[in-house]
Amino acid sequence: MGNTCSNLGIPPAKGPHPVGCTDFMMDHTEKGSFFRLYYPCQESEKAEKPDWVPCREYFNGLADFMKINRSLSERIFNYLFGSFKIPAYMDAPFRCNGKCPVVIFSHGLGAFRTLYSAICAELASQGFIVASVEHRSVGVCGFVLTCTNLSYPLQVKQRADECILALDKLAEINSGTPMQNVLQTQFDWTTLENSMDMCRIAVMGHSFGGATVIEALCKEVKFKCGIALDAWMHPLDDEIFPRVKQPIFFINSEKFQWAGNISRMKKLDSAVIQRKMITIRGTVHQSFPDFTFLTGNWIGKLMKLKGEIDPELAIDLSNKASLAFLQRHLGLERNFNQWDPLIDGEDTNLIQGTNVTVLQSAI
């Protein structure tokens, strides 16, 4: 039995569209594609919200990643998180007027495809189709946790390839190509034919997923811009920085970043390509995944899952700033530009740029 505290839970999306979700797995091999898809949907009385953690193997995977005992951690994780639901309806029918822009989302190290549902569901509620990739380098592969022992620079390249493969699969689905989904969900994939605007595509990710954003932008020009949430820049080779030609938005937490990491972000500064950075006051590294909403204040701060700021306010600022940036660089005709000031850190809870002092000589 999971944590049933009534004031805990992943916040519902705020956009005009109800949100559906489904899973796609191409095959069980390491070269396949596996992602959770979030999309605008029809409201349906039959549709149910899925569990936040898809199955118990994920608890074991988290325990292995954290190097703690499986049997003990499974009971703890199940108590804390076992009852929570994703703020989206599983396999609900797709519905949207006009074509949807596309976002590919990359999770952090040791995470998996469902842990950023507050971000992905919000984007879907605003009319995006979002594929949250489950990476095979360190994650759950066919529901069995695997670690390929790749070095971080090799992992980030593999992760970028997995993001590009997910995009390729969406392009095939959009074109009406019949797709085999080994998970055999109830979702009708044919309804997504001609639903996506394949000229308006962005890539987004957190931590190691933030580094994946930079690598993916370098590898695939179909990504028109990238949003890196509290990016961990270590896996990236310096030589790719001048090859990235798309706009990038760094949204950082106040407590995670350090001078060496920020200096690598600043190597991407450009006089001709928009590169933006803001920092959200009172946030920690885990202010972006859903964990931050699912623990009480004492446990959350003890486990460094919560900062000093209200977690819903923090994710709202991040989501609104992201939407404004996506409108600007995907050429969308929406009302997200009402949040343009957030891109420049114009809010009492934001810092323009960084709170970290970086010597110019380090850049």
For residue 35, name the pLDDT band (cuts at 50, 70, 90). Answer: very high
Q: Which two tokens stand for residue 350?
A: 């934001």
Cβ neighbours, 10 Å, residue 309: 20
Q: How far apart are the first and last CA of the chain?
A: 50
**CATH code of the region 19-50+85-352:** 3.40.50.1820
Active site residue 285: yes
Proportion of the chain in helix, strand, coil states, percent, rounded to 5? 35, 20, 45
CA distance 192 to 198: 12
Per domain, the residue ranges of the chain are 19-50+85-352
Q: Which two tokens stand for residue 265?
A: 């972000």
The dihedral of CA 233, 242, 135, 123: what is its sign? positive
Q: Which of 285, 287, 318, 322 is catalytic?
A: 285
Alpha-helical regions (H) of the chain: 57-66, 70-81, 117-125, 152-175, 208-219, 259-266, 297-302, 311-330, 340-343
Share of the chain above pLDDT 90, in %: 79
Residue 4 scores a pLDDT above 50: no
Output the pTM of the full model.
Answer: 0.94
CA distance 259 to 355: 10
Q: What is the pLDDT of residue 361?
A: 66
For residue 231, name the pLDDT band (cuts at 50, 70, 90). Answer: very high
For residue 149, name the pLDDT band (cuts at 50, 70, 90). Answer: low
Q: Which of 207, 287, 318, 322 is catalytic?
A: 207
Per the model's pLDDT, the better-predicted residue between 1 and 318 turns out to be 318
Q: What is the pLDDT of residue 79?
A: 85
Q: Which of 137, 157, 285, 260 is nearest to 217 (CA)?
A: 157
Residue 66 scores a pLDDT above 80: no
Q: Which of 23, 91, 230, 290 is catalytic?
A: 230
Active site residue 207: yes
Question: How do residues 253-288 score in pLDDT, each as one tens digit?
Answer: 999 999 999 999 999 999 999 999 999 999 999 999
Sheet holding 275-280, edge to edge: 89-90, 19-25, 34-40, 129-133, 100-106, 196-206, 225-229, 248-253, 275-280, 350-352
Residue 146 scores a pLDDT above 80: no
